Structure 1
Amino acid sequence: MEFHIEPKLFDAVSEFKIAIIHYNRTTVSDSPQMLKGRLQLFQEQLFFELEERPLHEIDGIREWRNVWKALGANPMENPSSVELLYYRVAKQDYIETHSSAVDLNTLFSLQYGIPSGMYNLETLVGDIHVTVGQEEVGYEGLNGSFNSLHNMILLKDGYSPFGSPYVDSVRTAITEETSEILHVLFLRPDMSVEEAQHLATACGRMFTSLNGGESSETILHKGNPSLSVADLPTQF
């Protein structure tokens, strides 16, 4: 399976980069109380921070608004997934727990201020491309609605689009039967490659410490726009 960022993305956002984390032989289950408590506590602490700090001052939210504008999308009408999470926390509409994988994904997104998606690798077909959605492109999302991805970044395999920093699709959702996961961190463009690698490694280690299995991480950017998932170095 090849993973490739299409060149037109770099034409619009030259410093665009993502982290790809591959989890193998992992076990998804109900979240342990430790993770539930950590997610709840982080949201409560973030709520008080957001009382004094407006959303546009959050680095990840500000940078992803700029990405949307560079691509021709409206960040006010279709905010990134991390902005939606922060908006909910600011309203004390705290995110409920789902599973040991999904809850960690939520925690990573809130903690690092970036959109983040996890996808069931067993449901993906062929190569994966990171591109910009055309006017007719969309899918049924995890938000329960059909979502247009016009002028927004999306992930697509040989079958259809399945993920985005906006909202992910139902087709590739993580369940307790999922054992192989593709985790994509939609990084802040201003983040250095070295910082991004450190962040991805930290996420991979935390995920496998809780869910078992192995993780491998790499950063895709203008100087390294593609990789083979099978070629990722496995860490034990």
Structure 2
Amino acid sequence: MNITISEKLKQSIPEFKVGAIHYHDITVAEPPKMLAGRLQLFQESLMLEADEKPISAIEPIQEWRKLFKLVGTDPSRYRPSSEALLRRIYKGSALGSVHSAVDTNNFFSLQYQIPLGIYDTFQITGDVIVDIGSAEDSYEGINGREMDMSNKILTRDGQGAFGSPIVDSKRTMVTENTTQALHIVYFQPSLTDEHALEMLQAIEKMFIQIHGGEAELKLIK
């Protein structure tokens, strides 16, 4: 599977980059106690920081809001998924557990304050391109809503759009039957390549510790 960034997106955001991690032979199940405990403690610490560290002071989230504006997305109507998660916690609403893959994904999104997407590789057709959506792009999100993806950063394959830094699609969502997965990490452009690779390696290491299997990663610009 080849993953690229479209010329249209590069023209709008020349420094745009994503990380891709391919997982093989993984086991998705209920989250282990280690992950559940870390996620709970992390959420509690974030709740305590809510007054001292408002969302307006969190640089990765604010940078992503600017990226949304650059491509024509209203960030107050369609929030980066990392911001949506953090707002829920700031309001005192703890994140419910889905399964080990989604919970790990949410953990890193909160830790690094950037959007991540995790997809079932067997539900992806052909190569993947990260692009800016057109009027024809839409999909049913994991939230059950039909998502109009025009003027939004998205990922698409041979069947069409299936993911974004906002919400992912039901078509490619990871379930407890998933054995092969693709992690897309939507970095903020100001992040150095060295730091981005360190983050990718940390995500890969923890994911494999929890799910087993093997993985390879790549920084895509």
Q: Partner of 1:227 in structure 2?
A: none
Cα distance in 2 between the residues matched to 1:94 and 1:163: 24
Q: Partner of 1:68 in structure 2?
A: 68
Q: Which runs of 5+ in 2 are unaligned?
A: none
Q: Partner of 2:174 in structure 1?
A: 174
| TM-score normalised by the chain length of structure 1 | 0.91
| One-letter identity of the residue aligned with 2:181 | I
Q: In structure 2, the residue corresponding to 1:117 is in which secondary structure?
A: strand
Q: Partner of 1:159 in structure 2?
A: 159
Query: Is structure 2 residue 39 aligned with structure 1 residue 39?
Result: yes
Aligned length: 221
Q: In structure 1, the residue corresponding to 2:51 is in which secondary structure?
A: helix
Displacement, 1:135?
A: 2.4
Q: Partner of 1:123 in structure 2?
A: 123
Displacement, 1:52?
A: 1.5
Summarize deviations over 1:33-90 as a string: whole Å, max 9, x none.
2211111110110111122121121122101001001111111111111110011011
Cα distance in 1 between the residues matched to 2:57 and 2:13: 20
| TM-score normalised by the chain length of structure 2 | 0.98
Q: Partner of 1:90 in structure 2?
A: 90
| One-letter identity of the residue aligned with 1:34 | M
Cα distance in 2 between the residues matched to 1:40 and 1:170: 26
| One-letter identity of the residue aligned with 2:176 | E
Q: How does 1:6-85 map to 2 (within 5 A)?
A: 6-85=6-85
Summarize deviations over 1:148-177 as a string: whole Å, max 9, x none.
112111111101210000100000111111
Contact 2:23 2:180 in 1 (8 A): yes
Q: Partner of 2:148 in structure 1?
A: 148
Contact 2:137 2:160 in 1 (8 A): no
Aligned residues: CA RMSD: 0.9
Q: Partner of 1:224 in structure 2?
A: none
Q: Which runs of 5+ in 1 are unaligned?
A: 222-236
Cα distance in 2 between the residues matched to 1:137 and 1:9: 15
Cα distance in 2 between the residues matched to 1:148 and 1:173: 18
Work out the percentage of aligned pairs sharing the same amino acid: 42
Cα distance in 1 between the residues matched to 2:166 and 2:148: 10
Q: How does 1:167-206 map to 2 (within 5 A)?
A: 167-206=167-206
Moved over 4 A (4+): none
Displacement, 1:127?
A: 1.2
